[in-house]
Amino acid sequence: MSKVDELEGFQIIDVDDEQEEKDRVSRTKKSSKKSKKNKRQKRNKKRDGFLMKILVIFLIVTCICGGVYFGFKVDVIEYEGNTHYSDEEMSKCIFNDKTPNSLIYFLFGNTNIEIPFIQKYDVEIEWPRKIHVNVYEKAIIGYVKYMGSYMYFDKDGIVVESSNELVNSLPEIQGLDYSSIVLNEKLQVSDTSIFDKILDLAQGFDKYDMDVDSIFFDNEGNIYLNIQNVKVAMGNTDDYSERLFELKQLYEKLNGLSGTLYLDSFDGNTSSIIFKKDSQNG
């Protein structure tokens, strides 16, 4: 049997071809590793770029927020027209007792907060750090007590406020006959001209700077004022201006006294004015 016959059935591989195959496999492995490395580097580079963008955006947003906060932080708030509330009390009601930011308030601020005794208020921003507030108070001339509350009404007799808070600068109105009181509706009294008289008296009190505790109307329409421990009989007339003027002349002298001052018969002569002390004072 020949040697050729003996090699039949076996694959004959050239040594050079075998080495070339090994080199090809090695190159493939190296290329695969390099490709994976490049992909990994690209992913890392992409991730680093994304993180850098996030950082830049964060820094920009932080700078903008800081600029808005400090650049528009209000350091001056001026109020005009408020007598019932102090400036501090108004700030507590409107701005929740916090230092406002003019830009944020302009964009998102609540400008329609309901405040007792305030009709409305207008907020004017003087950019960037100053606010001016115009306050319009309800024109209240007196109050009546009703079911444990103080019902405040305006010159037309319309009840504009119901509160547990007593405003000492306003007189209590006594002697009115009414069955019920409804907020934002007119007091139902038999003689509506009574409100004109209350307005005239209230304007006189304000003009002469007199504090009057209450105004009482009797069944005949006569008016009595209570000033501390002194009752002032004003009578029933269409014009109380002269009697209010005379009351102002005697106002300071009434301090510490207790009794009744009669101005109901005043005829222009001071001799018609009578003061009667209470019996316990001699």
The CATH number of domain 140-281 is 3.40.50: yes
DSSP H helical segments within the chain, as ranges?
A: 3-7, 15-71, 87-95, 102-108, 194-207, 241-251
**282 — pLDDT class (breaks 50, 70, 90):** very low
Average pLDDT score, the chain? 87
Q: Is the predicted pLDDT of residue 21 greater than 50, yes or no?
A: yes
Lowest mean pLDDT among 13-17, 87-91, 265-269: 13-17
Q: What is the pLDDT of residue 280?
A: 65
pLDDT of residue 12: 54
Give the Cβ contact number of residue 97 at 10 Å: 10
Say what the pLDDT of residue 239 is: 92
Q: Is the pLDDT of residue 269 over 60?
A: yes
- How do the domains of the chain map onto residue ranges? 27-71, 76-137, 140-281
**3-class DSSP assignment, residue 84:** coil
pLDDT tens-place string over residues 167-216: 888 999 999 988 889 999 999 998 889 999 999 999 999 999 999 999 99
CA distance linking residue 139 with residue 203, whole number of Å: 12
Q: Does residue 213 or residue 34 have the better pLDDT?
A: 213
Average pLDDT, integer, range 246-266 = 95
What is the CATH code of the structural domain delimited by 76-137? 3.10.20
Read off the pLDDT of residues 52-105 as tens digits, 9 standing for 90 and up: 888 888 877 888 777 667 789 999 999 999 999 999 999 999 999 888 999 999
Q: What are phi and psi of 269, to 5 degrees?
A: -110, 130
Lowest mean pLDDT among 26-30, 128-132, 153-157, 159-163: 26-30
Cβ count within 10 A of residue 267: 9
Percent of the chain with pLDDT over 70: 83
